Amino acid sequence: MSRKTRVYYDHAVYHISIRGNNRQAVLKADEDKNSFLETLNRFKERFRFNLYGLVLMDNHVHLVVETNSTANISKVMQAITLSYSQKFRHRYNYTGYVWQGRFKSNLIEGDSYILECIEYIHNNPVRARMVEHPKDYRWSSYHFYNSEIDPLSKIIQLDRFCF
């Protein structure tokens, strides 16, 4: 049975999530998370998509991404996951699948829902009982939205929102 074809729209915003195979940790150390951010930034510059929010957990990633006419989200995610997978395999002398199946993507309609989705992903470490407050988790765009100095600032964009 073939996979269902995904339908994407230009200038649409999506909540994307990818999970490590068998829920394994694929972002084990800070070095892995930095490597993923570098990969994300490289392909963000190449494909020119907008990134509005993210959280990097040990075994999965959430992104809020806006596409454009040149950024087919399937190609973007294929490039990001393949590139990071190669680094992960090399670093850990790992063989096999790094990511569990296809990434998930949900269309987000309306700016208020975009902000709700960003809040949802920022609270992911709280729900996982890793921290008590989103501000205590280093690997999310929470700090960017709260005007704290953050290395994520070079990849996150606020230009869509009027505060």
Whether residue 149 is predicted with pLDDT greater than 60 in this model: the reply is no
Mean pLDDT in residue range 28-41: 94
Question: Could you state, in order of their start, the residue ranges of all structural domains in the chain?
Answer: 13-154
User: Per this entry, what is the length of the chain?
Assistant: 163
Question: Which range has the worst mean pLDDT, 19-28, 101-110, 122-131?
Answer: 101-110
| Residue 31 falls in which region: left (phi positive, over 0), alpha (psi -120 to 50) or beta | alpha
Q: Give per-residue pLDDT as tens, 63-113.
A: 999 988 777 889 999 999 999 999 999 999 999 999 999 999 999 988 889
CA distances (Å), origin 66, targets 14, 17, 43, 55, 87:
6, 14, 14, 16, 26
Give the list of residues 6+ apart from residue 4 with CB closer than 8 angstroms, or none.
none
> CA–CA separation, 27 vs 130, rounded Å?
15
- Who wins on pLDDT, 149 or 162? 149
> CA–CA separation, 154 vs 50, rounded Å?
12
Q: Give the pLDDT band of residue 150 (cuts 50, 70, 90).
A: low
The whole model's pTM is what?
0.88
Q: DSSP string of 31-54?
A: HHHHHHHHHHHHHHHHHT-EEEEE
**What per-residue confidence (pLDDT) applies to 161?**
42
- Who wins on pLDDT, 101 or 18? 18
- Who wins on pLDDT, 78 or 163? 78
**What per-residue confidence (pLDDT) applies to 21?**
96
Assigned architecture for domain 13-154: 2-Layer Sandwich (3.30)
Write down the mean pLDDT value for the chain.
87
Radius of gyration of the chain (CA): 15
Whether residue 147 is predicted with pLDDT greater than 90 in this model: the reply is no
Whether residue 162 is predicted with pLDDT greater than 50 in this model: the reply is no
> CA–CA separation, 24 vs 21, rounded Å?
6
**What per-residue confidence (pLDDT) applies to 160?**
46
